[in-house]
Amino acid sequence: MRSRSLVFKGVTLKVEQPDCVGGLELDEMLDGLVSTRPLEADTQRPLQLSVQLIGSRTAVVPEGVLLFVAEGFRGVENDQDFYLTDGSSTLYLQSGNNRAVAYIAPSFFAKEGQIKHTFWAYAILKLLRTCGFYSLHAAGLIAPAGWGVLIAGPSGCGKSTLTLGMIRTGWGALSDDAVLLCAEPAGVKALALRKYLYIDVASPQNSDLPDGPQQTDYSGRCRRKLTIEKLYPGQQLSESAPADVLIFPRIVRDAQSSMVPLDDGSTLRHLLLASGPQLFDRRTLAGQFEILKILLRRARAYELRAGLDLYREPAILEALLEQRS
């Protein structure tokens, strides 16, 4: 067995997998994560993901509550234990143990890369939830003045385009497509999760970016995969100050973009949809709701009606934010 470790704000995630096994896509997943601090020898909250090959055997999944069905996998909760299975391969997370075991059958290696990435993402994000880190399908940005912005929404709503546009104007960035939220005395802090920025190669605004192979992003779309730190050294940060502004983009055909304030009810619905409902469980949901409540109290929330002007010049977002400050 070989192991790798990452640290997310004092929480060590240790991943163990069999030697010399190709086709798992686990190493690629780990390579794309941002470790927020150098590894410390004494970490108070260790997490462990262990991978075991089971050959022709089938991991047993007990009867329980069916939480979801997606991409050929079923999420099952038994008491407070969690199982993610396709009937052959199974991820098992035992309640209160801070450890997950992935039992991998031969059929797993034949799955599409995106499906394997999703499987490992579930494993890692479920473990991080046990220590109070909750994922949000969002881009994290930091203004030159130090205040934080979260742009949340589904794939295709413009998060990557807006992120790149703000980086070009000198803003700092956490992650393009996903951040981790955790509670801090001053509010809610956002942590970087992924290193990469996925860019629409067809957009003329991106013609100055380095050439590279097109790859499938986390939502299955074929785009160019670039590393934020290599493109703009020093502008990818590991964490931000408590989030001050929440933005939920919606693409419209208007010539000019606008930002419309949202009430707490609408903001909460948007946040829940962007929080990965398939990851919810009884043991960690209360902690997640508490973080979302803090965000509601502290941050200003807007629907961004992204028009043609914003598509042509994403940095217009800065002017829209200044108008609302």
DSSP assignment of 276-290, as one string? Answer: -GGG--TTTHHHHHH
**Are residues 126 and 14 part of one domain?**
yes
Verify that 302 and 168 share a domain, yes or no. Answer: yes
171 and 72 share a domain?
Answer: no
pLDDT confidence band for 110 (50 / 70 / 90): very high
Lowest mean pLDDT among 160-174, 216-230, 283-297, 300-314: 216-230
Residues 151 and 289 in one domain: yes
State the amino acid at position 147 in one-letter form: W
Asked which of 98, 131, 164 is the last residue of a domain, the reply is 131
Looking at per-residue pLDDT, the higher value among 241 and 6 belongs to 6
Length of the chain measured in residues: 325
Final residue in a domain of this structure, among 104, 131, 158? 131
Q: How far apart are CA 51 and CA 116, in angstroms?
A: 13
User: What pTM, to 2 d.p., does this model score?
Assistant: 0.90
Domain count within the chain? 2
- Indicate the pLDDT class of residue 152, thresholds 50, 70 and 90: very high
Same domain, 282 and 169: yes
Task: Please give the Cα distance from 38 to 17 (Å, whole number).
Answer: 22
Specify whether 15 is located in the same domain as 44.
yes
pLDDT digits (tens, 9 = 90+) for 122-144: 999 999 998 999 999 999 999 98
Q: Which pairing describes strands 214-216 and 243-251: parallel, antiparallel, or unpaired?
A: unpaired
Mean pLDDT of 244-260: 94
- Last residue of a domain, which of 109, 131, 153? 131
Q: Say whether pLDDT at 268 is over 50.
A: yes
Query: What pLDDT does residue 247 have?
Result: 96
CA-based nearest residue to 244, from 97, 124, 122, 146: 146
For residues 60 and 162, membership in a common domain is answered with: no
The backbone region for 282, taken as left when phi is positive above 0, alpha when psi lies in -120 to 50, beta otherwise, is alpha
pLDDT attached to residue 119: 94
Spatial separation of the C-alpha atoms in residues 17 and 52, rounded to whole Å: 7
Residue 257: pLDDT band (50, 70, 90) is very high
The reply to whether 24 and 126 lie within a common domain is yes
Alpha carbon distance 196, 215 (integer Å) = 12
107 and 162 share one domain = no
pLDDT at residue 36, rounded to an integer: 55
CATH of the domain at 275: 3.40.50.300
Please write the tens of the pLDDT for every residue from 79-89.
888 999 999 99
Mean pLDDT for the stretch of residues 220-247: 84
Beta-bridge partner residues of 180? 135, 191
> Which residue, 194, 189, 162, 166, is CA-closest to 178?
194
Are 119 and 8 part of one and the same domain?
A: yes
How high is the mean pLDDT of the chain? 87
Is residue 71 domain-shared with residue 170, that is, in the same domain?
A: no
Looking at residue 44, its pLDDT comes to: 57
Encode 106-125: b = buried (16+ Cβ within 10 Å), e = exposed: eebeebeebbbbbbbbbbbb
The whole domain housing 65 covers: 2-131
pLDDT tens digit sequence for 7-59: 888 788 899 999 877 889 999 889 888 865 544 554 556 899 999 999 877 77
Q: CA Rg, the chain, in Å?
A: 20
The closest of 75, 2, 20, 51 to 278, measured between CA atoms, is 75
Q: What percent of the chain has pLDDT over 90?
A: 46
Do 256 and 306 lie in one domain? The reply is yes
Query: Is pLDDT of 121 > 60?
Result: yes
